[in-house]
Homo-oligomer: A and B are copies of this chain.
Amino acid sequence: MARKYIDNPNTCSLVHTMNIIGNKWKPIILYLLSSGSIRFGMLNTLIPTISKKVLTNQLKELENDGLLLRQSFAEIPPRVEYSLTEKAVGLLPALRMLSDWANEAYPEMKFEECRIVEKEKSAYNNILKK
């Protein structure tokens, strides 16, 4: 007999959600994509501390879980754009609540270490303008 988690009616689906997005990078990726599609290389620039290998991996997993759409253009050099699916868009309000919670619960942090260098900043602004 399968012994998994207690069947508190919501625990199990919560576990599932955490399996899908509960790690270091995925919420960031989803949040960045919430303002439109972004290319692979640009994601790599926007998240300067992630390695290509891990980024590739996270994107693949998100795609497999139905949260990302991967569009590959037959160009040289190659172009691949990632965007959110409807499923992922439905997740954004919950992610927003989680970040609001952190702001409220840890006001002393102010998350001031989250500055970025100008290179990434202007790259990101270009994304938004597009």
Residue of B1, B22, B32, B90 near A6 (CB, 8 A) is B32
Q: Are B31 and A111 touching (Cβ within 8 A)?
A: no
Q: Please measure, in the bound complex, the distance between the C-alpha atom of A11 and the C-alpha atom of B66, giving whole angstroms.
A: 21
Q: Are A16 and B106 touching (Cβ within 8 A)?
A: yes
Query: How many residues does chain A have at the interface if contact means C-beta atoms less than 8 Å apart?
Result: 59
**For the complex formed by this chain, how many copies does it contain in all?**
2
Cβ of A102 under 8 Å from chain B: yes
Q: Are B94 and A97 touching (Cβ within 8 A)?
A: yes
Most buried by B among A15, A18, A115: A18
Cβ of A75 under 8 Å from chain B: no
A80 to chain B, nearest CB (A): 20
Q: Can you name 13 A-B residue pairings with CB atoms under 8 Å?
A: A4-B113, A5-B49, A7-B121, A8-B32, A12-B99, A12-B113, A13-B109, A14-B98, A15-B28, A16-B109, A16-B111, A18-B27, A91-B105
